[in-house]
Structure 1
Amino acid sequence: MTTPARSADRTPAVLVLEDGRTFRGRAYGAVGETFGEAVFNTGMTGYQETLTDPSYHRQVVVMTAPHIGNTGVNDEDPESRRIWVAGYVVRDPARVPSNWRSVRTLDEELAAQGVVGISGVDTRALTRHLRERGAMRVGVFSGPAVRGADEAALLARVQQAPQMSGADLCGEVATTEPYVVPAHGTRRLTVAAVDLGIKGMTPHRMAERGIEVHVLPAHTTLEQLYAVRPDGVFFSNGPGDPAAAGHPVELMRGVLERGTPLFGICFGNQILGRALGFGTFKLKYGHRGINQPVQDRTTGKVEVTAHNHGFAVDAPLDRVTDTPYGRAEVSHVCLNDDVVEGLRLLDRPAFSVQYHPEAAAGPHDAAYLFDRFVQLMEGQRA
């Protein structure tokens, strides 16, 4: 159970990591308890897009920027129908938001949607701990859950929470019914978008390019997908462990067999990796933020990009790989740690990236990838 809280309240709260380290603070958002995987986001802006990104399902997000909530909350920027984070951790929440688009405070929005948070935490120390020890399970407790609570008992409950490894979550966040995002102006192309946790800005970016987007549930069959007569197929971002997502992999293999132009983002990149026969693995603490340097190896250009992923594709950086669908290579790589950030097939019209070119909060260095998808579809049609 959760109840509303106000950031100005002194309601006590405690954050308990699965390795036993604790951080005390004050309730922020709803009062109660929540469990998830503790991860940190390095973005200094775009917190509303972060909160409503379905890829954060079952994760407790620690914001490394010290001041959060300065611009309040509006009704135009959400990336989906609700907040998806399991919990929220901030250092200094804004006392009064200041922005002409703001309609309510972040504290009020979190409380209204039952999201348990904690403020007054040394997020720098917490982030350094997660960088050293890795992302791990966490519980946030406030109000009656804290008063007189035995920390050992709280720790035991955290350690009983499910882990992210092995979690098949895309079906929990995807649409249950197909819907259409119409093209802006004249329709040039049609795309079937498989929703694994899609962000609202993604079909918007396609619609800007004259694409009519049919957003389909994660459990869509190959026959249902091709019933919309797509010029191209898109696989979205989403939460969970790609190794547990069997149906999307088989669906993508069916698309590759037909040779339809294909584009994947984030989880979609991991699904392409698995479809091609590569493995995936869990990163120590993941990439989450809007300031990650990635090199497009096909052009040599370096982009500053938006990320949200805790898993990555295990593919060789130094050679082309033969797959059941032709030759494949790593097209993009993270310059911080050499993690695979993109794949492309050399003999079929298919490519993917691990990051977010739609990037509602910015940056927009990677927006050209939607144009590359358009070129693939137009080339195939010609």
Structure 2
Amino acid sequence: MQKAYLILENGTIFEGNSFGAAGEAVGEIVFTTGMAGYLETVTDPCFYGQIVVQTFPSIGNYGVIADNMESADSHVKAYIVREWCQEPSNYRCEGDLDTFLKEKNIVGLCGIDTRQLTKIIRENGVMNGKIVGEGASFGLTDIKGYAIEDAVESVTCKEEKTYKPQGDVKFRVAALDLGMRNSMLAQLLSRGYEVTVVPAFTKAERIKELGVQGVVLTQGPGDPSQYTQITDELKKLIEMKMPVFAVGMGHELLAVAHGAKTYKLKYGHRGANQPVEYMATGKTYITSQNHGYGVENLALPGNAKASFVNVNDKSCEGLEYEGEPVVSVQFDPELDGGPLDTSFLYEKFEGYMTK
């Protein structure tokens, strides 16, 4: 293995080894706490522009499985693990992680203390970093100047496409693709939805022309405050009283369209073990999440109230809008991480579409 280094914008340097594609990579460093699901992680559009750190120490032991991918490509800037398995073992295995990263031209770094790196991010907040090879410059200028740009533009689909469920069609919906995961599309189809996936900047009038019964606003990467073109169209959908199911970035953009404000979380919520409390019942659900921004609890519009709250940091995890046919949550309801599932959210959305 070749020596490689991670340089943080605060000057901290970690020495490790290179795997995956050779080269350098600059990005925003974030960590994710899932014990499994590494292939879903490296193919999740929500990680666009980021260097992802896995907190679980051993990664790659069940190889690469195409059916587990959340998109056709990888969107991370680089990938960091404590150790990666060179000989995966699983009856579904179709390849190894190192080869996959090479094919996707994703720089990998292993052999560093990922626990210590995670502690630094938790204490100091999200920061930029750079992976370089032996003999490269350790300068900080390009690291400090890095910013994620054109995130949604880079991951959204280029044209409309309609997907039909295997059985009878119960509902027809449009999915505004802000960085849609394959698992969300699969969930919608499994519930009998005919889904027309449309690009993120599709006009409200075009969605109305499709004759759908509801709109799904998907997950996605980036800063929601930058996308006024999208929120302007969402305001029109609100005026139309169109039933809406909003998730992740879609939840944030819908809140901005209502007049709420968003902010960047210190180190984000990423992993399959995020506890949220449902305010209507007091029950706690263990959820999967991947986001770096949230909606400000203290700056909600008059007709909005929090429906879910994060148990750890009390941040907003869901919103209800009085008099509006809207289901809006920050977490990913198609990826339940605990014994209590959140399918009732889809049922609520379906109730709005049948009225």
Return the offset for 1:156: 2.4
Residue 146 of structure 2 aligns with an amino acid whose one-letter code is A
Distance in 1, matches of 2:331 and 2:166, equals: 25
Structure 1's 190 and 228: CA in aligned 2 closer, same or farther, altered over 3 A? same
Q: Report the aligned-residue RMSD.
A: 1.6
1:212 maps onto 2:194 in alignment: yes
Structure 2 equivalent of residue 370 of structure 1: 346
**DSSP 3-state at the match of 1:131:** helix
Structure 1's 342 and 82: CA in aligned 2 closer, same or farther, altered over 3 A? same
Structure 2 equivalent of residue 160 of structure 1: 145
Structure 1's 363 and 137: CA in aligned 2 closer, same or farther, altered over 3 A? farther
**DSSP 3-state at the match of 1:76:** helix
- Preserved CA contact (<8 Å) 2:297 2:315: no
Distance in 2, matches of 1:138 and 1:200, equals: 29
Structure 1 equivalent of residue 97 of structure 2: 106
Structure 2 equivalent of residue 150 of structure 1: 137
Aligned residues: 355
- Preserved CA contact (<8 Å) 1:194 1:218: yes
- Preserved CA contact (<8 Å) 1:183 1:210: yes
1:192 maps onto 2:179 in alignment: no
Return the offset for 1:28: 1.6
Return the offset for 1:245: 0.9
> Structure 1 stretches of 5 or more lacking a match?
1-9
Q: Percent identity?
A: 38
- Preserved CA contact (<8 Å) 2:43 2:75: yes
Structure 2 equivalent of residue 330 of structure 1: 306
Structure 2 equivalent of residue 227 of structure 1: 209
The alignment's TM-score, normalised by the length of structure 2, stands at 0.96
Structure 1's 110 and 364: CA in aligned 2 closer, same or farther, altered over 3 A? farther
**DSSP 3-state at the match of 2:234:** helix
Indicate which of 223, 226, 229 corresponds to 1:244: 226
Indicate which of 323, 343, 352 corresponds to 1:347: 323
> Which whole-Å deviations, capped at 9, do the CAs of 1:123-148 have from their partners, x for residues lacking one?
00000000011111111113xxx22x
> Which whole-Å deviations, capped at 9, do the CAs of 1:283-328 have from their partners, x for residues lacking one?
11000000000011122221000010100001349xx852xxxx21
Residue 165 of structure 2 aligns with an amino acid whose one-letter code is A
**DSSP 3-state at the match of 2:309:** strand
- Preserved CA contact (<8 Å) 1:91 1:120: yes
- Preserved CA contact (<8 Å) 2:327 2:345: no
Distance in 2, matches of 1:309 and 1:316, equals: 19
Distance in 1, matches of 2:119 and 2:339, equals: 25
Distance in 2, matches of 1:365 and 1:111, equals: 37
Distance in 1, matches of 2:262 and 2:58, equals: 35
Indicate which of 242, 252, 268 corresponds to 1:260: 242
Q: Which structure 1 residue ranges, 4+ long, deviate > 3 Å from structure 2? A: 360-364
> Structure 2 stretches of 5 or more lacking a match?
none
Residue 265 of structure 2 aligns with an amino acid whose one-letter code is L
- Preserved CA contact (<8 Å) 1:290 1:363: no
Structure 1's 213 and 362: CA in aligned 2 closer, same or farther, altered over 3 A? farther
Structure 2 equivalent of residue 358 of structure 1: 334
- Preserved CA contact (<8 Å) 2:204 2:236: yes
The alignment's TM-score, normalised by the length of structure 1, stands at 0.90
Structure 1 equivalent of residue 5 of structure 2: 14
Distance in 2, matches of 1:51 and 1:219, equals: 25
> Which whole-Å deviations, capped at 9, do the CAs of 1:22-53 have from their partners, x for residues lacking one?
11100021110111100000000111111111
1:173 maps onto 2:155 in alignment: yes
Distance in 2, matches of 1:218 and 1:95, equals: 39
Distance in 2, matches of 1:178 and 1:37, equals: 31
Structure 1 equivalent of residue 61 of structure 2: 70
Return the offset for 1:192: 0.7
Alignment of 1:26-175 (within 5 A): 26-142=17-133, 146-147=134-135, 149-151=136-138, 153=139, 155-162=140-147, 164=148, 167-175=149-157
Distance in 2, matches of 1:31 and 1:363, equals: 41
Residue 137 of structure 2 aligns with an amino acid whose one-letter code is D
